Amino acid sequence: GDSLTAWSADCSDCKEGESSIGVQAEDPFYVKCMRLTQADYGIHQCFSVLLQSSVDGSEFVDRFTMKGFQVTRQVCSPYIPLDFLEFNCGGRDNGCFQSVSLGTCPFAGQACRNNVCICEGRTTVEEARVAGLQCGEFDDGCGSPLSLGDCPVFGEICVEGNQCKGEALAAYHWRLVCQSGAIDRWWG
């Protein structure tokens, strides 16, 4: 850009976030290096300058913050995780000689390979049964549900932990209990 371009805020006692300067382009681009020259006096400078980007001009994403009073500041603007939409784990060079973390894989059966979560440990229904799971749905370790079905015994229900338990209202024997000291009896 033009190093002689000057800009001054409309407000004289600007509140936080009240003044900004921007550029709109016809094609998307990255800002990787930024030089900011401010007035010689600290009272006319902005102490904290936030670089933001937007796709539509209405919702902005915070990218980088420069802090401190200086007449001229030149900084590298690092890439952020949103710049790596095709990747979802691990770390990448942020363009400023540091690394940006893209996070970890969300499921136990996934591994991060070349910054992409790959399913390497999908659990099968047979393995789940060997591990003691009996019914219901469970995660296969890679984000997909697998079903073990209903409990095979009549009257049992599937409870937490994918276990079959006797339903509270289903029973083979019933009785009434006198609680005034008489002996309990089975009634048919």
**Of 75 and 141, which is predicted with more confidence?**
141
The pLDDT value given to residue 149: 94
N- to C-terminal Cα separation, the chain: 95
**Of 169 and 141, which is predicted with more confidence?**
141
- Residue 135: pLDDT band with limits 50, 70, 90: very high
pLDDT digits (tens, 9 = 90+) for 43-53: 777 778 888 88
Where do the DSSP E strands lie in 13-149? Answer: 33-37, 48-53, 61-67, 72-76, 91-93, 99-101, 110-113, 116-119, 137-139, 145-147
pLDDT digits (tens, 9 = 90+) for 53-98: 888 888 888 888 887 767 777 788 888 998 898 999 999 999 988 9
What whole-number distance in Å separates Cα of residue 39 and Cα of residue 72? Answer: 9
0.95 exceeded by pTM: no
**Of 137 and 5, which is predicted with more confidence?**
137
What whole-number distance in Å separates Cα of residue 177 and Cα of residue 83? Answer: 70
